[in-house]
Amino acid sequence: MPKIDLTMDVNGRKVVKQTDPHKRLLDFLREDLNLTGTKEGCGAGECGTCSVFVDGKLVKSCLMPAAKADGAKIETIEGLARPGSLTPVQQAFHKTGASQCGYCIPGMVMAATSALRENPDAGIEEIKERLGGNICRCTGYTKIFEAVEIARDVIAGRLPETALDEDATGESFIGANVRRLDAPSKVSGRLKYAADIKMVDMLQMQVLRAPMPHARIVSIDTSEAEAMDGVACVITADDVPGTDGFGVFVHDQPVMARGKVRHFGEAVAAVAAEDLVTARRALAKIKVEYEELPGVYAPEDALKPGAPVIHDYAQDNVIKHIPIRKGDPEKGFAEADLILEDVFTTQQVEHAYLEPEAGIAYVDHDDVVTVLSPSQNITHHRHMLAEILALPINKVRFIMSAVGGGFGGKEDMIYQGMLALAAMKTHRPVQLNFTREESIVASAKRHPSKVHYKMGLKWSGEITAIEFDMLSDGGAYGMSSEGVMRKAAILSCGPYEVKNLKVDTKVVYTNNTPSGAFRTFGGMQAQFATESMMDMAAEALDMDPFELRRINMMRIGSRTHTQQELTTASLDRVLDAAEAASRWEAGAPKVRGPRRGDLGGPDTRQPCTLGARIGEPTVTPTNDERVAS
Amino acid sequence: MNRKMRGRGMASSWYGIARTATIDRAGAWAELDDGGTAKIVTGVTEIGEGILTVLAQVAAEELGVRPEDVTIGDNDTSRSPEAAHAGATRQTYMIGNSVALASRDARAKLFAEIADHWDVPVDSLRAFNGELWAQDTNLRMSMDEAVKTCKGRGVVPVGSASFTAHGTGLDPVDGSGSPWQAYVFGTQIAEVEVDTWTGEVQVLGVWAAHDVGRAINPRGVEGQIEGGVVQGLGQALMEDYQTENGYTTTHGFAKYILPTSLDIPQINCTIVEDPDPLSPLQAKGIGEPALVPTAPAIMNAIYDAIGVRIKSLPATPEKILDALRNHVPGREQIAQSARQDRAEAHRRGL
Ligand code: FES
Ligand code: FES
């Protein structure tokens, strides 16, 4: 394909370059100019990590063809301040702790800069709206809002420049608001994540993924792909030299599908080629013959007799069952004045870290197979990869690259094995960067769960017994399922001392996207059920919800659900603190919202109507005539 | 019913710190370096929570230098001692204590040399913020000089440590055991506004009180709480990864809806400090616990506002409208009938 000539002013310097016509402005900046502060979080205009200025206007560079920016004046995160210095917006982000993983931050700084350039006096509501196209998965946005307001006031001279300085430290660094050491590199776009790193002679990998959720692999023919110009290697399960299998508790997942695929999007083969386009083309030349198998898509179905078996070792499809027993639940329920029973369900949740999976593998001068990736658990990955590659453990090295968000989703070794195999086969560095779509189909999710709950209470509020039965969908592979069930069981009945209980948590295989570790590891699913039940009980008992919790809360000396004696317990203090801070008006939870006197205080925000904040509304305000019935 | 209804709900939670039902451990190396700086090497995994800064604060405090003088890198299995993974709300607890102990070990080497050099008892020495001094004397030097002096005597002030958290496994039959040595507790309140015409829920305020043991960096703790609350809010109201017969139907952010700046309540954090008696730092953790009570607090608030109890997450506008239409009686009625049943049983002498 013929190249195109582009001329731009980028960060104040004239750039004249030839490039490929398919490139987006984002690719041109990142690949041709090495301006990797601009990130690709989604490639579809949905996240804002790729935000830059084109002729002074904030633009999502993943949506703009590079050719369209010909002749334009481009400003990227790298161009906002001179090297070694930071703009007031960047300094304010540093001061308030507005950057966590940092992956959204360059885009966020661009959006904030744009907001204040467009309206130096923007109020908080307008700032929020102007940041509305930029997703941050880490911070909860609150410190970002704070940063933009401080920067606005410093720029306008309403606050002195010292407002951007670090808070003073007293007599100890423990308890001090020391600014994050990594923030300057994040707010300036200087921090390199795995996808931002280039090595000499590096190949690009692409992965062929299963087009169906459950199938036997009859054959894989890679010959045509291998014969293509620019293809360095094609790998499949046959290339694994050692014991194939990874997972946090059970090593049931092969590096690439071995004999059968168990979920939609599972890796089946991978290509390493001179460039991304060649690697993508080669995928289309790999011929895989599948024989579709009946699948299981609901955990209840997985337990039915005769259900399709997903892993041979688990003929009943059960990954793990954790029982907890304490006291005599039957007796406890017999003593109860009130018994409540209900069912609670939670959904599958995507981690949605802004940085999609990415990594590089190479074999170093000491023959050490080295993988650089944003993994949350390289200690364990090294153990597993050494087994998979049949290498001594010191011949496998994992290096953590900057992690653009994890939340548990980067604990599973779902791609590092493929990179290592390709590096060993080619003796060249190999890089794989997931697209957002790939990240969503291939990475683990929060376990969806269903809890059958039975709680017995006395009129006094004392819980006499609980029966808690959770069934979770583990999806196609075990990953962290066992641990998630254990934690869900241990925490199940909440921070309350319950004398009699019967708890069961069970997780099964299905042909759905695997479930794995996700911030709280089963704890939120279980306690969502418990805390809903507690309020339902408080209503039934005509009791304030704080009071009911105080009656039952764990104290020093309490025995937990697993019969551990607590030597410390702070729920009493925490309840007092929350009640006081929120100016809670006591009363039973009997739909008293309309009568409450504690609503709408200065510690709440205003409800929002889209488009009503910026002087010129871009969206028609919600029409009050619209009746949904 | 007015179109816009408001209400409040609360929920509590608890959580264990560090790996579950097992012995957790973490190692670290520390060195007081030239110029009064410090090097910390440990298998830490910064995933955005700010652990590198927390560890730099801990090392600075223990070594007598400033946090910005501490060099600390990320994990590398061939270069760092094992400190395991970023998860289980374990890094501040496990690696924080390991770094504290390793730093004390390095400091002890330095102090031994300086005490000898000055001819003062070693326990009279103090170091903070780049200065070292002997109490009740005029003896004082910078950490830069102190390291020079120590090295001049032939000693490189290095230290190492391993920290252990003693959890036990669960009994396979009754689940009994002591899975963690430290627990944290939390409570959150949510204030919502429900649009009864569209079913849309806006969370206007969240009050979050969490025990963290000891807050090493209060702003960092707030950041974790705010991030956790917003992830909890996402799961409560909008996020829903869906498959149809195994095929993903939410394959991008256009279909998988995440909270944006317009969804964010005012988040009011209260940090409660109940020090951990079993570890030198006395800190516990906050990463995961912050998310636990948010969704139930929001569901309880929705109930308070409109008398509709959502038991199946997320509480989408469709579900809210549906529940409003098929209004299910509240618990009050159920309790009344339970009371009547009981009175009836009593009368019959059962
Ligand atoms: S909006 Fe461009 S990468 Fe997400
Ligand atoms: S800091 Fe915003 S996505 Fe991580």
- Smallest CA separation from ligand 1 atom 1, residue: A45
Q: CATH number for the domain including A356?
A: 3.90.1170.50
Q: CATH number for the domain including A93?
A: 1.10.150.120
Q: Is residue A425 part of a domain?
A: yes
Q: Is the CB of A139 under 6 A from ligand 2?
A: yes
Same domain, A438 and A449: no
pLDDT digits (tens, 9 = 90+) for A422-463: 999 999 999 999 999 999 999 999 999 999 999 999 999 999
**Which helix (DSSP H) or strand (DSSP E) does residue B114 occupy?**
helix B96-118
Residue B59 contacts residue B8 (beta carbons within 8 Å): no
Chain B residue nearest residue A482, CA to CA: B20
Which residue from B337, B318, B184, B183 is spatially nearest to A338, judged by alpha carbons? B337
Q: Does A228 touch chain B (CB under 8 A)?
A: no
pLDDT digits (tens, 9 = 90+) for B206-221: 999 999 999 999 999 9
Residue B73's pLDDT band, with cuts at 50, 70 and 90, is confident
Residue A1, pLDDT score? 74
Residue B346's pLDDT band, with cuts at 50, 70 and 90, is low
The one-letter code for the residue type at A303 is L
What's the rounded mean pLDDT across residues A294-320?
Answer: 98
Mean pLDDT of chain A: 96
Contact check, Cβ <8 Å, A436/B240: no
pLDDT digits (tens, 9 = 90+) for A110-155: 999 999 999 999 999 999 999 999 999 999 999 999 999 999 999 9
Looking at A420, A442, A464, the residue that finishes a domain is A442
Same domain, A484 and A548: yes
Contacts of B189 (CB under 8 A, 6+ apart): A578, A582, A584, B8, B9, B10, B205, B206, B207, B297, B301
Same domain, A340 and A252: no
Same domain, A187 and A111: yes
Residue A615, pLDDT score? 46
Q: Is residue A386 part of a domain?
A: yes
Which residues make beta-bridge pairs with A515? A445
Residue A608's pLDDT band, with cuts at 50, 70 and 90, is confident
Q: Is residue A499 part of a domain?
A: yes
What's the rounded mean pLDDT across residues A7-32?
Answer: 98
Residue B1's pLDDT band, with cuts at 50, 70 and 90, is confident
Q: Is the CB of A134 under 6 A from ligand 2?
A: no
**Two structure tokens written together for B122:** 């070693």
Q: Is the CB of A405 under 6 A from ligand 2?
A: yes
Residue A306 confidence (pLDDT) above 50: yes
Question: Would you tell me how many other CB atoms lie within 10 Å of the CB of residue A539?
Answer: 26
Q: Is residue A607 part of a domain?
A: no
Q: Does B326 touch chain A (CB under 8 A)?
A: no
Which residues of A are less than 8 Å from B299 in CB distance? Answer: 528, 532
Same domain, A41 and A157: no
Same domain, A335 and A367: no
Three-class DSSP category at B274: coil
Same domain, A286 and A407: yes
Q: CATH number for the domain including A534?
A: 3.30.365.10
A402-406, B194-198, B340-344: segment of lowest average pLDDT:
B340-344
Give the catalytic positions of B in this structure: 288
Residue A617, pLDDT score? 37
CA angle at A440 for the pair A438 and A443, rounded to the nearest 5°: 90
Same domain, A431 and A455: no
Residue A629 confidence (pLDDT) above 50: no
Q: Is the CB of B260 under 6 A from ligand 2?
A: no
Same domain, A437 and A469: no
Residue A620 confidence (pLDDT) above 90: no
Q: Does B157 touch chain A (CB under 8 A)?
A: no
Q: Is residue A463 part of a domain?
A: yes
Looking at A442, A459, A487, the residue that finishes a domain is A442
Q: What burial class does residue B329 get, using C-beta atoms within 10 Å of its C-beta: 0-12 exposed, 13-18 middle, 19+ buried?
A: exposed
Q: Is residue A254 part of a domain?
A: yes
What's the rounded mean pLDDT across residues A404-415?
Answer: 98
Which residues of A are less than 8 Å from B314 in CB distance? Answer: 347
Cis peptide before B317 (omega within 30 of 0): no
Residue B56 confidence (pLDDT) above 50: yes
pLDDT digits (tens, 9 = 90+) for B267-292: 999 999 999 999 999 999 999 999 99
Same domain, A245 and A338: no
Q: Which domains does chain B have, with CATH numbers?
A: 4-16+180-325 (3.30.365.10), 23-165 (3.30.365.10)
pLDDT digits (tens, 9 = 90+) for B88-117: 999 999 999 999 999 999 999 999 999 999
How much distance in Å is there from the Cα of A101 to the middle of ligand 2? 5
Same domain, A66 and A176: no
* Mutant choice from A457, A498, A599 vs B, greatest count of B C-beta within 10 A: A599
Residue A342 contacts residue A540 (beta carbons within 8 Å): no
Residue A554 confidence (pLDDT) above 80: yes
**Two structure tokens written together for A55:** 């002729």
What's the rounded mean pLDDT across residues A304-330?
Answer: 98
Domain count of chain A?
4
Residue B326's pLDDT band, with cuts at 50, 70 and 90, is confident
Same domain, A154 and A15: no
Q: Does B198 touch chain A (CB under 8 A)?
A: yes
Q: CATH number for the domain including A18?
A: 3.10.20.30
Instruction: Tell me the H-state helices in A479-557.
Output: 481-491, 523-541, 545-552
pLDDT digits (tens, 9 = 90+) for B166-203: 999 999 999 999 999 999 999 999 999 999 999 999 99
Q: Which domain holds residue A151?
A: 80-192
Residue A621, pLDDT score? 37
Q: Is residue A388 part of a domain?
A: yes
How much distance in Å is there from the Cα of A435 to the middle of ligand 1? 11
**Separation CA A480–CA A477 (nearest Å):** 9
Looking at A192, A226, A258, the residue that finishes a domain is A192
Q: Is residue A590 part of a domain?
A: no
Chain A residue nearest residue B220, CA to CA: A97
Q: Is the CB of B48 under 6 A from ligand 2?
A: yes
